[in-house]
A and B are shown apart, each in its own frame.
Chain A
Amino acid sequence: MHFPHATTPLRGLAVSALALMLAACAAATPIPTNAPTAPAAATAAPTSQPAGRVSWMVSGDAVEFDAYKAIASAFEKANPTLKVDLFYIPASGDYRNRLDADLVAGTPADVVFLNYQRTAPYADKAQLSPITDKLAASTTLKEADFYAAAFAPLKWRGQTWCVPSNMSSAVIYYNKALFDAAKVAYPRAGWSWDDFVAAARAIMHEDAKVGTIFGYGTEISFFRVAPYVWSAGGEIVNDPLTPTRLALDGAAAQAAIQRYIDLQVKYGVAPNAAAEKAEDSMTRFMNGKLGMYMDSRRVTATFRSTIKDSFDWDVAALPSMGSPTSILHSDAYCLPAKAKNPDAAWKLIEFAAGPVGQKTMTAIGRLVPSLKAVAESPVFLDPNAKPANSRVWLDTPLRPAPTHKNWPAIETAITKEFEKAYYGVQSVSDAVATINKQVEVLLK
């Protein structure tokens, strides 16, 4: 029911309430943009140069922030009539809170940084400007220069909404020393699920000094199980772009979930709930107590700086349950509908998503570039930096998570029930039934 006369005061009240609720979450301090190390600018200032200030809101750790500062500085050098105001919100949750507060107040930054799963919900609320025409007219960005997998989920309802800044995916990090000790061959290209389980079981043992060495471990979540559902020929939803129901009750999907869950409940090669709570799998891997760990490129820099020479490690593609598949992890630069300086904002997006921006971000080791030329360059495929097999991120077929305005809530529901099954609290069929019941209303 809609009361037209009530909407304005109601919206005012709602906005006030939201502003109050979010006030504590929003860190509003603008950050100076004096970059310590600005790379050489790659683009010359065009003749019809937009002028003024362009605001850019970013998230990430301190190293990522330094990289953003470097990009902003390089952009200013290439575009002397423009000045970048960089807004930095370290934690992703706080970043989303701040973005929501800014959007509802009608004062978003000119350029925002979004996970690809968030673009459709914001586009659905008319909070983003489509960039289809801008991209078509761009002289510096060509869609064909990007990996198609990264651009695909940014297209929705016939429009392109954002430009992908990176394109990672889930892979298996493995401890070579534990493979050697167990006399197991390192993962080869195209290895199967059975190979993977056999390796995990061979590595798993009790060590007198450090305790249990687990074969495999990771957080349990939708993102960790979905690739295997696809690999086995199953589906998550009936239609990835406009889902109306989940498809996890399909035979292939259920079988894949069961095989994944067997790692914990049948073979016991992965930490149980208490062991995971005591020491999470990522920490176990860094401490040399976990044979294989599943995650995206994001943890690479941490592993480089933490593991150092403690043991040798590398990455492999996810084992296949049928056809090799992984799940897309990607972020994008987007243009809010209420950006105050949209021309300058687009210019900044072109620069940040272009070669200079992507090289700068890739150099810190956390991201896989979405631009093919940068991904194929030594900046990413550095032969002197671990992991040696970085190419796996470029060669594995990727699928994005489904697109739906309620997907974050749906994903949480799936994760929670998968977790129960993974730790033996319920069966896979019960988990799927519960998920279907919870998600039905969200997919309407």
Chain B
Amino acid sequence: MRARGYRLMLLPFVAGSIILLIGPALLALGLAFTDFDGLSTPHWVGVDNFAHLLQEPVFQTVLRNSVEFLLLSLPIRLLGAYLPALWLSHPRRGAGLYRALVYLPSVLPDVAYALTWVWIVNPMYGPLNLALKAMGLAQPGWLADPNAARLVFVMMAALQIGEGFVIALSGLRGIPAERIQAAMVDGAGRWALFRHITLPLSLPWLALIVVRDAIFLLPWTFPMTAIMTGGDPYYNTLFIPLYARITSIDYLRFGQGSAAIVFMIVLAALVLFAFWRFARRGWYADEA
């Protein structure tokens, strides 16, 4: 009876996931093998769309942008979530305020967050360059600068770490106090405590953050780039989701747009696989 009640409560989420996520993802997978243009009957084209994308210079840039963004943002966000959680996992004065400050950027709506950053990185009037100028440092053109534009999105992603922070904090608070105390009795210093107790016991939580980010980060770029740059300058902030949207809806090449989304899913899977290979030794060692 109880189990049936739980299942009933799950129903809206399962239905929502099937209708809004799994169903469209499967349909997109199907479309990726067609020449569907949104207006005519689609024809099966095999892997032509994938081959075309891999030969297209713009998509090569998009793929490179996406990989670079993922590889830069993932570790920064992981550290950005874990280090404050580590610091705030112990009782300290003003902890509630600090927690709120860390979480605050995550509650901002995407449009507000994007527009705030457009102002922050305005090359001439934005506070970031004014601060750099006051310190006597170089002031990049940020969103106008092909070398700096992608970094803006890395910085933006690095500050929206509220959910990862909460996950890391709850993981750290779940570490049994007796293990810490036992290690201290054995003479473990702070570094040894962290290296041999805290970090290994945090790994499953950190893995959860990485898994979530690997899936979440590229789709996150869609509203941000659509609002802030449209992929400019010179395709340097064009990531797979916006490229797929432009290709599908503006150019009516839904087959190629869907193939781009398949590339994104494969990319996330590769990142997860690499992380799994990297992290599993730590988990198993801990569990043994």
Contact = CB atoms under 8 A, between A and B. Distances in A.
Interface of A: 1-3, 6-7, 10-11, 13-14, 16-18, 20-22, 25, 93, 96-97, 100, 103-104, 121-122, 125-127, 273-279, 406, 408-409, 412-413, 416, 419-420, 423, 425, 434, 437-438, 441
B146 interface: yes
A2 B43 contact: yes
Question: What are the nearest 10 A-B pairs in CB distance?
Answer: A274-B141, A17-B27, A278-B124, A277-B144, A273-B144, A274-B123, A125-B39, A409-B251, A14-B36, A274-B144
Contacts of A423: 233
A3 B24 CA distance: 23
B226 to A, nearest CB: 10
Contacts of A425: 146, 234
B31 interface: yes
Interface string B132-163: 00000000011111100000000000000000
A17 B145 contact: no
Contact of B124 (A2, A10, A20, A275): A275
B41 A7 contact: yes
A10 B253 CA distance: 16
Interface string B28-62: 10110010111111111110000010011110000
B178 interface: no
B202 interface: no
Contact of B24 (A6, A17, A434): A17
Contact of B249 (A21, A122, A412): A21
Contact of B31 (A17, A278, A413): A17
B125 interface: yes
Given A25-B249, A441-B52, A100 B38 contact: yes
Nearest to B146: A425
Given A7-B43, A97-B249, A413 B58 contact: yes
Given A10-B44, A274-B144, 18 more contacts: A2-B43, A7-B41, A10-B41, A13-B31, A16-B27, A20-B20, A22-B249, A122-B39, A125-B252, A273-B144, A273-B145, A274-B124, A274-B145, A275-B124, A276-B144, A278-B122, A416-B234, A441-B52
B73 interface: no
Contacts of A121: 252
B262 to A, nearest CB: 13
Range of interface residues on chain B?
35 or more
Contacts of A413: 58
Interface string B204-234: 0000000000000000000000000000111
Nearest to B231: A416
Contact of B34 (A10, A274, A416): A10
Contact of A1 (B31, B44, B145, B248): B44
Nearest to B40: A125
A17 B20 CA distance: 10
A331 B55 CA distance: 35
A21 B145 contact: no
B250 interface: yes
B194 interface: no
30 contacts: A1-B43, A2-B43, A2-B44, A6-B44, A7-B42, A10-B34, A13-B31, A14-B27, A14-B34, A17-B258, A20-B23, A20-B24, A20-B27, A21-B24, A93-B250, A96-B249, A100-B38, A103-B38, A104-B38, A125-B39, A277-B123, A277-B141, A278-B122, A278-B124, A279-B125, A408-B250, A409-B253, A413-B58, A419-B234, A441-B55
Contact of B254 (A14, A274, A434, A441): A14
A358 to B, nearest CB: 29
Contacts of B250: 93, 96, 408-409
B235 interface: yes
Contacts of B42: 7, 10-11, 14
A438 B27 contact: no
Nearest to B46: A1
B27 A278 contact: no
A425 B233 CA distance: 11
A416 B230 CA distance: 11
A426 to B, nearest CB: 9
A127 B36 CA distance: 15
A279 B146 contact: no
A406 B123 CA distance: 35
Interface string B1-38: 00000000000000000001001100110110010111
B17 to A, nearest CB: 14
Contact of A21 (B39, B44, B248): B248
Nearest to B140: A274
Given A21-B248, A274-B124, A277-B144, A434 B39 contact: no
Nearest to A16: B27
Given A21-B24, A100-B252, A125 B41 contact: no
Nearest to B39: A125
Nearest to B33: A10
Most buried by A among B27, B36, B38: B38
A11 B37 CA distance: 11
A211 B44 CA distance: 59
A434 B122 CA distance: 30
A3 B57 contact: no
A25 B41 CA distance: 22
A381 B61 CA distance: 48
A341 B123 CA distance: 53
